[in-house]
Amino acid sequence: MDAVLDHVMMRVEDLDESLEWYRTHLDYEEKGRWEADTFTNVFLGPEEMHEDGALLELTYNHDGRSYELGDAWGHIAVRVPEDELESSYQQLMDEGVEDYRDPESCGGRYAFVKDPDGHEVEIVTRDHGAKWSLDHTMIRVEDADDALGWYVRKLEYEHTGRWESDTFANYFVKRADAAPEEMAVELTYNYDGRSYTMGDAWGHLAVRVDDLEDGWQTLMDRHAEEYRDPESCGYDYAFTKDVDGHEIELVTR
């Protein structure tokens, strides 16, 4: 099953403000838009991005609702060149972005800022990919073995890296033979056995398949959760859930 990580969706309370933030600070441009009667989806990414690079989907519901972040979803991460962590963070500070976790407080390895809705955005250094392109999306899991097994068996993803500390571990997965520029999923497992609140400010991860119905049938054969099948979604997309309840959308581009 060739399932490319296509986009990550987050909900926002003021679409114009959010669009301005990502355009101004991350140099994102609009790649696509879907206008419905009750909501708007806008897809964003850097001007120069890999053909299999992931997009950021901002969803705005027209009824003015507010959202809870929860803690089951952690952050998105964006790339900067290897020698530009300090300068890139300072650029954001000069532009008025919230000073959340600077490079020094993170051991000079990464940094964090927040967007207008409080979504955390990690800055990581990479020697590949367009500046500010999406590097990974972090989600928290309650059982690392179960979570890794789900992504390996259901999506045929590979375990591409790990970071283990005294209190937690991070595991990175992405599809086999993925280009370095593709987004990964970071599974964070805390050793203390805590549970997480899903919240509704983060929506889903989306994977792109060549054929929607074939991809869906493969997941059903592998006993993935039948959450929203292609027929219920007008054969435009479909949704399953991973073992921790994170929604996974199937799309075709």
Read out DSSP for 141-176? ES-HHHHHHHHHHHH-EEEEEEEE-SSEEEEEEEET
- Of the listed 57, 122, 181, 249, which one is catalytic? 122
- The secondary structure element, H or E, covering residue 247 is strand 247-251
Per-residue pLDDT for 253 more than 90? no
The residue-averaged pLDDT of 18-39 equals 97
Q: Which domains does the chain have, with CATH numbers?
A: 4-251 (3.10.180.10)
- Structure confidence by residue, pLDDT tens digits, 42-83: 999 999 999 999 999 999 999 999 999 999 999 999 999 999
pLDDT higher than 90, residue 1: no
Residue 17 appears among annotated catalytic residues: no
Report CA dihedral (14, 32, 30, 78) to the nearest 10 degrees. 90
The mean of the pLDDT values for the chain is 96
Residue 145 pLDDT > 90 = yes
Check whether 99 has a pLDDT greater than 90: no
**3-state SS record for the chain:** CCCEEEEEEEECCCHHHHHHHHHHHHCEEEEEEEECCCEEEEEEEECCCCCCCCEEEEEEECCCCCCCCCCCEEEEEEEECCCCHHHHHHHHHHCCCCCCECCHHHCCCEEEEECCCCCEEEEEECCCCCCCCEEEEEEEECCHHHHHHHHHHHHCEEEEEEEECCCEEEEEEEECCCCCCCCEEEEEEECCCCCCCCCCCEEEEEEECCCHHHHHHHHHHCCCCCCECCHHHCCCCEEEECCCCCEEEEECC
What is the rounded average pLDDT of the residues 155-171? Answer: 95
Burial of residue 64 (CB within 10 Å: 0-12, 13-18, 19+) is exposed
Residue 21: what are its φ and ψ, rounded to 5°? -65, -50
According to the model, what pLDDT value does residue 212 have?
97
